[in-house]
A and B are shown apart, each in its own frame.
Chain A
């Protein structure tokens, strides 16, 4: 992979805190403001043409990061640049034009489609917003993209409503809608999590094929590490609002360095009875995002933790080439 390829999206020190509503009286009498540390000082970039996986468990901030990139949320602080231009400085008009180039596929295909719009109308709507095509041209383009994602016969299906389609078809509709304006970059937020097991591979396969055909760049947000293997070039692991490890997929999977990454990979159930898990899993559960642990946020559950770990928050340091880790102990490094 050519490392000098253009950085399509660059994220620097992105932070998003959500205020926690306290009772009225509590608000009067206490000064401290409680916040949910959804995303805390996250920095990474995505190269043009690659698929970056953003993986982690609940509360790690991956979905919030996705929403910030799409500017469906405003950040507390930090920068996101698309092709060098900061998106948070955009005017409404510039933002609208940007939305032609950055699209999204949501997790729940049923909920992301308006129940009262025919799927043809839903798919074609981005064209109506961003282009001056005639209704006939929009219809043609809608049918064209529907055929490409496997919704055939397009003319027949375009008049249907979401509740008349199967889950797999609905996700294809969401994909068609995302791609109809020929975007450069697609944020896929757990696109197969809600699909049936036998449908997942179809959708994954479709996404890979469309990436080649449309020359796309993906941010693939998921909690399922195993699926990353089939679509991602690089992967970033998030824990409690921070990136703990990022690097080429093969590297991270074969030589995980951060203790959390190691645990996460060990915990994924392997669909093969001969493989029994060897590495112990951490105790306890993900702590609250309102009061995250000091220093390295994983230290209370980490079996390699030293006294330093509760002090200063570790930065992402380069370990080898494109592989970066935020850990002082690095039990596996050098292996």
Chain B
């Protein structure tokens, strides 16, 4: 049964700073279905990472959720109090980040970080039990259990990234948020990591939100894909449908401008212009200054998402 594990509705996130308010995420609505991998793509500054952080309310000040709901199994995370949040964070929804060297505490052994995670979220787990679970997790990751006694800096980048997944999954969460998990990895290690993620996804029955600017890995991993631009949702749909038939002009431009090692496409197309200023975004459709199909309507009114067989596009061309 494909129910929605996470429903984001009209989410708006602002960063009020001294030169104005950065509209990092504006009115984004999307659903993540149970058991799927949802890929969230876009360039830097499009709001995808901000959205990821908002889900667990990990926004750094001055960021704040200015509106909307984030419903996890029906409960709105935005309105949860501290206690309810702690019950979810790490335990039901876990997150891994781009640079494992900075997300793992350099002063503690890896094993200790596992134990701390387990014992903070579950009462009455003895040290021995926690270590066993950690060792078990390492085995599943293909790492020798005695590496629990090592410090993060003694490990390679790829291994640290796997440890980070291990810590994230040791509590058996339903949903894993992965924010640019492979950006700091070499190509071959990245491929190993993605293979591992696929295996773990099956073993743990995971739902994954994969946030990345690397369209290649999203194409390889995701069941459905969402494209963001300028803080807004541009297009969302099944991966194969979106790549085969990109509808939003931004998606079209983006896909035409990324190098593809397999295709025999001699030229790369480039999109003119630059990403929008989020403090003072363009009126109407945020992409209109760069859009080759811009119409008068686009300059004035913000397009809603037009749905066509589970393929949604926020563009007046489809209205």
Contact = CB atoms under 8 A, between A and B. Distances in A.
Interface of A: 57-58, 166, 168, 196-202, 204-205, 223-227, 229-230, 253, 263-277, 281-283, 285-286
B44 A230 contact: no
Nearest to B44: A196
B220 A196 contact: no
A265 B243 contact: no
Contact of B259 (A166, A199, A229): A229
Contacts of A58: 186
Contact of B267 (A230, A275, A277): A230
23 contacts: A57-B187, A196-B43, A197-B213, A197-B215, A224-B259, A226-B261, A227-B259, A229-B259, A268-B187, A269-B190, A269-B219, A272-B243, A272-B263, A273-B240, A273-B243, A274-B244, A276-B220, A277-B191, A281-B188, A281-B191, A282-B188, A285-B157, A285-B158
A271 B212 CA distance: 12
B219 A273 contact: yes
Contact of A198 (B186, B257, B267): B257
Contacts of A168: 274
A282 B186 CA distance: 13
Nearest to A205: B270
Nearest to A227: B259
B269 interface: yes
A204 B270 CA distance: 9
B293 to A, nearest CB: 17
Interface string B170-195: 00000000000000001111111011
Given A224-B259, A274-B240, A281-B195, A286 B213 contact: no
A108 to B, nearest CB: 15
- Give the one of B188, B213, B253, B263 with max A CB within 10 A: B188
A152 B299 CA distance: 26
A239 to B, nearest CB: 10
Contacts of B253: 198
Contacts of B275: 196, 198
Interface string B74-112: 000000000000000000000000000000000000000
Given A197-B254, A267-B188, A268-B187, 11 more contacts: A198-B257, A199-B274, A269-B190, A269-B220, A270-B260, A270-B262, A271-B219, A273-B219, A277-B191, A281-B192, A285-B189
Contacts of A224: 259
Contacts of A57: 186-188
A29 B255 CA distance: 59
Given A198-B253, A201-B269, A276-B220, A271 B215 contact: yes
Interface string B25-68: 00000000000000000011000000000000000000000000
